[in-house]
Amino acid sequence: MTYLQIEFYLDGTGIYYDPYEPIHLDALLAWVEIPKFVKLDNLGKSEKPYDVSLPLDKWEIRGQWGWKASALFPGEDIFESIQYWRKKFRQGKIELTQGSANLQQGVYREYNTPMCLVVTNKMVAYACGDKHKIAKILTKIKYLGKKRAYGKGKVVDISISDVDYDWSIDRDGRATRWLPYKNGIKLVRCRPPYWNRIDRINCCKIGDKIQLK
């Protein structure tokens, strides 16, 4: 296993990125691998998830374990942009409605919702694992973040480099991923799928100053 830096190069149109709910590299790998064994669509938030093996080293902290893979961070040159996603009533389907279509509420409601984007040329993550196996899995990743149907977060290339530092769980004493922490205010699982409610514990936030021992 080696220390790795993974760079996802984007097309420059922006990514829907929430720093409080960042994408984790192991979540991307699990998103590709888990459906080989079980259908995620059939898994509820309160049902025990399937633990898939990933080509990553493991960390163990305070009786918990997870994968040595950081969250994804925007590149150095970034700025924020606001765009809008819209849902308009399809006039060509009006014959399927009964009575007058209510455009203010209900199934025919029209939307014009702001979409906060981070415009950057790349997203960066760190890991400790098998470089070639990780690279093979990541070929399946074409978009990052939400609003992929709107073309946001499009990945145009992925670069994986060997590095001589391990920033997969912390960098200069600050967390680069969610980790068990008794005073943490983030209630989340230690490994993917992170949206699942089973085995959630108190974790630190990304960037919190932590002591691993």
Could you give the angle at the alpha carbon of 38 between the alpha carbons of 152 and 57, nearest 5°?
75
Beta strands 111-120 and 78-87 are antiparallel
Residues 135, 124: Cα–Cα separation, whole Å: 14
Long-range Cβ pairs for the range 46-54 (8 Å, 24+): 46/197, 46/198, 47/196, 47/198, 48/198, 49/192, 49/193, 49/196, 49/198, 51/191, 54/26, 54/29, 54/30, 54/129
Task: Identify the CA nearest to 82 among candidates 129, 16, 153.
Answer: 16
Cβ neighbours, 10 Å, residue 138: 17
Q: pLDDT tens for the chain, 213 residues: list them.
A: 799 999 999 988 888 888 888 999 999 999 999 888 777 666 778 888 888 899 999 999 989 999 999 999 998 776 566 655 555 545 554 444 555 544 444 445 555 665 677 888 999 999 999 999 999 999 999 999 887 776 778 999 999 999 999 999 999 999 999 999 988 899 999 999 999 999 999 999 999 998 776
pTM value? 0.82
Taking the C-alpha atoms of residue 200 and residue 185, their distance in angstroms, rounded to an integer, is 12
